[in-house]
């Protein structure tokens, strides 16, 4: 059978050292956090549906064939969507898909 090693209790010096190290770590983390937060740029929130037309990808205020083309380009990965385009997603799920383009085509065809 193995004997268990006896670990001596921590000394006052080791407790003080660990406390100082902990304080330095927390202080350093806080300082880095403040510095990082200072480097971030504020993003203006979009006004809630201000002048938004569902499916209007080019921002001209109406649905047309160009909007369908833009959705297809985004769905195929040829173009990255803007936050405004994601907000104008016809299905409202903030993913622009071929189904969204088909929805717009049906709406255009029924006019």
Indicate if 65 and 101 belong to the same structural domain: yes
Structure tokens belonging to residue 52? 């938004």
Indicate if 35 and 53 belong to the same structural domain: no
**CATH number where 103 lies:** 1.10.1330.10
Classify residue 2 by its DSSP letter.
P
CB 108 within 8 A of CB 68: yes
- For residue 25, the SS3 value is helix
Taking only the tens place, the pLDDT of each residue in 87-105 is 999 999 999 999 999 999 9
Taking only the tens place, the pLDDT of each residue in 26-79 is 666 555 554 444 454 544 444 455 568 999 999 999 999 999 999 999 999 999
Which are the contacts of 78, defined by CB distance < 8 A and separation ≥ 6?
Answer: none
Q: In which domain, by residue range, is 38 found? A: 11-42
Indicate if 38 and 19 belong to the same structural domain: yes
pTM above 0.85, yes or no: no
d(CA 27, CA 8): 30
């Amino acid at each position: 059978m193995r004997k268990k090693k006896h670990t001596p209790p921590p000394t006052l010096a080791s407790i003080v050292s660990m406390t100082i190290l902990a304080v330095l770590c927390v202080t350093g983390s806080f300082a880095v956090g403040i510095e990082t937060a200072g480097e971030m740029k504020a993003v203006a929130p979009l006004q809630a549906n201000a002048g938004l037309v569902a499916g209007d990808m080019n921002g001209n205020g109406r649905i047309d064939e160009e909007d369908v083309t833009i959705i297809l380009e985004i769905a195929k990965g040829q173009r990255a969507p803007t936050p405004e385009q994601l907000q104008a997603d016809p299905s409202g799920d903030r993913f622009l898909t071929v189904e969204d383009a088909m929805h717009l085509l049906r709406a255009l065809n029924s006019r």
